[in-house]
Amino acid sequence: MKEELSESYGIIGLGRFGTALAEKLAEAGREVIVVDRNENKVKELRNYTDFAYVADELTKEVLEEIGIQNCDTVIVCIGEKIDTSILVTLNVVNLGVKRVIAKAISKDQGEVLEKIGAEVVYPEKDMALRLAKKMLVSSVMDSISLNNNVEISEVMVPVRMIGKSLQELRFRQRYGLNIIAVEHAGKTETEVEPEYVFNKGDVLVVIGKSENVSKFEGILLA
């Protein structure tokens, strides 16, 4: 059986966000192309990928020569330099990349990036929200905001659910959420059967609309 090709990624801009993202993707076995103007930053990433390029200009022609158009997903991590961020994102979109994600540091910048065809992430804002949620609700271990008002949250199983099965709780109908994984005794189960009985110490990974996640997290405080 022929092995399916791994998805490829392009990372433009090697600040803290771009570097961490590139390292994680490379460690996960994905093909990663990284581009930055800083030679030292590019050299560091050559420990993770063979496709690390120094580029003084991030024009459409330069990006095409590097081969950024061959990536399935490209993430533009130049949020601080707004004019450069917008121009580079436009160049990547015009090269026909299937999925373009751009880092933004303000709502106005994000709106412009969305209008030219990119998905937008706000790393600093997301980190602040995740930290606030952890401090406010001790049982919330981590959370990630996705597009379209969707959120993934990792929470300790509420006391009221211990000893009850997923089916008995009618979890999806009651909370409007899906459980995508349960961590129990150091193991992660991604196929949670309706008969599964929740135990003390279980960690639930749930996904759903942000308002439903917030409502569910609210019962952790009750």
Q: What confidence tens digit (pLDDT) does each residue in 149-195 have? A: 777 877 888 788 899 998 888 888 888 888 888 888 778 888 888 89
DSSP 114-129: HHTT-EEE-HHHHHHH
pLDDT of 4 reads 41
Half-sphere exposure of 151 (CA within 13 A, CB side): 23
The closest alpha carbon to 55, from 100, 26, 13, belongs to 13
Average pLDDT over residues 37-50: 93
Dist CA 48 CA 41 (whole Å): 12
High-pLDDT (> 90) share of the chain, %: 37
pLDDT of 131 reads 46
In this prediction, residue 218 has a pLDDT band, given cuts at 50, 70 and 90, of low
Phi, psi torsion values for 112, nearest 5 degrees: -65, -45
Find the helix packing angle between 107-115 and 82-94, rounded to 10°. Answer: 20
The DSSP call for residue 197 is: B
Higher pLDDT, 133 or 70: 70
Q: Tell me the pLDDT tens digit for each residue of 49-93.
A: 999 999 999 999 999 999 999 999 999 999 678 899 999 999 999
In this prediction, residue 208 has a pLDDT band, given cuts at 50, 70 and 90, of confident
pLDDT of 14 reads 93
Average pLDDT over residues 134-153: 57
In this prediction, residue 145 has a pLDDT band, given cuts at 50, 70 and 90, of low
Angle formed at CA 166 by CA 200 and CA 179, multiple of 5 degrees:
85
110's tokens: 């994000």
Residue type, 22: A
- Asked if the model's pLDDT at residue 140 lies above 60, the reply is no
Average pLDDT over residues 16-31: 87
Q: How confident is the prediction for the chain on average, in pLDDT?
A: 82
Task: Tally DSSP H helices, then E strands, for the chain.
Answer: 9, 11
Rounded to two decimals, the pTM is 0.60
pLDDT of 136 reads 41
In this prediction, residue 107 has a pLDDT band, given cuts at 50, 70 and 90, of confident
- Asked if the model's pLDDT at residue 9 lies above 90, the reply is yes
